[in-house]
Amino acid sequence: MTLSEQVNKVLAYIQDIEVPANLTPWETGRAFYENFIPLAGEKETVFQIEEQTLLKDNHPIRLRIYRPNDTKKLPVIIYFHGGWFNAGSLETHDTPLRQLTNRLQAIIIAVDYRLAPEYPFPFGLNDCEFAMQWIIDNAVSLRINANKISIAGDSAGGALAATVTRKFRQHIMALLLIYPVTDNSLKTASWIEFQNGPLLDLKGGIQAWNWYLPNIEDQNNPDAIPLLANDFEALPPTFIAVAEYDPLRDEAVQYAKKLQTNGVNVTLNLYKGTTHGFFQMGGYIDDTEVLIQNMSDFFKTYSDTK
């Protein structure tokens, strides 16, 4: 394993993170993840950022809306953040989403869905689907182009994005996945090779899935595990990014191949020398900028023509 010097600096930074004592294991994980925020670098100025709160089952679902300019009916990307289904927030992904909205010149709507273990599957997915339907229903007031809706997500958010895309395929122009979670077996060659990291490890993966899927009947549910799905007809063009030294690498590649076998137009990019999470590490890792440019090129291929 030959990690780049930039990635090694990130890992050294992460190794020095300290979190408060006397937290539950999932609260510790969330606090640890929030400390990643400085790795993303400086926050870019965005034309307008606003928040909207939806109410589902008396629970608030926060949306953060990034608008790169005042043009009406811009394309929109609905974004679901990563964090192993039990961590992450609007704040953990704020910096890279600012960069993405400016680069793509598209509106991005980030969804703050409920997290396990307090809210295991399907709470978070239901929140994402509820937000998706609300955005479609309110396209006019949101000043978005309802014919140019895309979905994106990283890691666990990639799993949510894949499932929401299957449910709403008739509305979706494109799907963009960054090192997505697609399988709960944790038995691929990359999980074996990188079971002790860097960044993610097998013990944490097992814990995350146990928190997310505590009910045994959900452990083979394709809505929770994208690789188990079989209804891929008429799915939109899909971009999938994978990191070379990421235990999730091979399951993402397997998902890409399954989509391709079922006739989906897939762009699969491997980022060598990188590890999981580099989308949020643009202050240290140059490949973050490469990834954002690749996403922009893919997105504009469809947003500029449809």
Half-sphere exposure of 272 (CA within 13 A, CB side): 1
Dihedral sign for Cα atoms in the order 12, 6, 97, 205:
negative
- Residue 146 carries which DSSP code? E
81 labelled catalytic? no
How far, in Å, are 42, 176, 291 from residue 295 at the CA level?
A: 20, 7, 6
Please tell me which residue in 246, 250, 287, 303 is annotated as part of the active site. 246
Catalytic residue (one of 93, 154, 276, 287): 276
Q: Looking at 89, 155, 190, 303, which residue is catalytic? A: 155
Q: Is 183 a residue of the active site?
A: no
Q: How many helices (H) and strands (E) does the chain have?
A: 10, 8
- Looking at beta carbons, which pairs linking 100-104 to residues 24 or more positions away fall under 8 Å? 100/292, 100/295, 100/296, 101/46, 101/66, 101/67, 101/68, 102/44, 102/46, 102/68, 103/292, 103/293, 103/295, 103/296, 104/68, 104/75, 104/77, 104/295, 104/296, 104/299, 104/300, 104/303
Residues marked as catalytic: 155, 246, 276
